[in-house]
Structure 1
Amino acid sequence: MSVRATAPVDAGDHQKVQDWFRELSEHVQAVDFAAARHLFAEDFLAFGTFSDFVYGRDHAEANQWRKVWPTIDGFTWRLDEVKALVSPDRLFAMGLAIWDSTGYLPDGTPFDRRGRATISFARAALGEPWVATHTHMSLFRGTPDVSHGSKPSRS
Structure 2
Amino acid sequence: MTKSPTDPDDLALVKAWFDALSAQVRAVDYTGARHLFADDLLAFGTFTDFVTGREHAETTQWRKVWPTIEDFRWRLDGVRALVSPDRLFAVGMAVWDSIGHLADGGDFDRRGRATVSFARAAIGAPWVATHTHMSLFRGTPEVSHGNKPETGHNS
TM-score under structure 1 normalisation? Answer: 0.97
The whole-number CA distance in structure 2 between the counterparts of 1:22 and 1:127 is 17
List runs of 5+ in structure 1 lacking aligned partners: none
1:72-151 aligned at under 5 Å gives the runs 72-151=69-148
- 1:117 deviates by 0.1
Aligned residue in 2 for 1:28: 25
- 1:70 deviates by 0.2
The whole-number CA distance in structure 1 between the counterparts of 2:87 and 2:69 is 34
The residue type equivalent to 1:85 in the other structure is L
Question: How many residues are matched?
Answer: 152
The whole-number CA distance in structure 2 between the counterparts of 1:52 and 1:110 is 28
Identity of aligned residues (%): 68
Aligned to 1:145, the other structure's residue is in SS state coil
Aligned to 1:20, the other structure's residue is in SS state helix
TM-score under structure 2 normalisation? Answer: 0.97
The whole-number CA distance in structure 1 between the counterparts of 2:59 and 2:41 is 14
Aligned residue in 1 for 2:63: 66
Aligned to 2:108, the other structure's residue is in SS state strand
Deviations 1:119-147 (A, max 9, x none): 00000111100000000000000100010
The residue type equivalent to 1:123 in the other structure is R
The residue type equivalent to 1:27 in the other structure is Q
The whole-number CA distance in structure 1 between the counterparts of 2:86 and 2:11 is 14
The whole-number CA distance in structure 2 between the counterparts of 1:108 and 1:98 is 25
